[in-house]
Amino acid sequence: MGKKRIIQKTEKELIEEREKIETAVKKESKTPVVGRLTEGRIYISSSYNNTAITLTDNNGNVLAWTSAGAIGFKGSKKSTPFAASKVAEAISQTIQKLGIQKLAIFIKGIGSGRESAIRSLAARGFDITGISDITPVPHNGCRPRKARRV
């Protein structure tokens, strides 16, 4: 096969590439935010396998999201309360960058990361206006199977 050659970039090319990346980062996100946001909603979805947290504005437009898997936890470690608290810390940094002070928290699911995510968000000093549990609960369940006749 022979020797592999690696193309070396000059300093001028590296600087131009870095400037392109910086301008792309400075551009606004896809959802335009009018003025300065002060209120937001946090949706915590905690299952047996993972914990996902989504940040939205009051209209429901998603501003940011993260999960235990996205942070780097793998396998059964994703469903731990420690992973949920780390996810909450990661999303709280984004909240602080956006300048949001008031949060309404909506929790869905029955995983082990529910409380630890709320506790770590509260420890960050946000003004929590409300906590709601929106876990779907069946009222009467599915129709039972027909009786077995022998």
pTM: 0.71
Residue 84 has pLDDT above 90, yes or no: yes
d(CA 71, CA 66): 7
Residue-range domains of the chain with CATH: 37-133 (3.30.420.80)
Q: How confident is the model at residue 20 (pLDDT cuts 50, 70, 90)?
A: confident
User: Of the candidates 40, 31, 38, which has an alpha carbon nearest to the alpha carbon of residue 106?
Assistant: 40
Tokens 């050659």, residue?
Answer: 5
Q: How confident is the model at residue 35 (pLDDT cuts 50, 70, 90)?
A: low
Residue 36 has pLDDT above 60, yes or no: yes
User: Of the candidates 34, 35, 31, 38, which has an alpha carbon nearest to the alpha carbon of residue 129?
Assistant: 38
Residue 138 has pLDDT above 70, yes or no: yes
DSSP H helices in 27-137: 68-71, 81-98, 114-123
d(CA 70, CA 72): 5
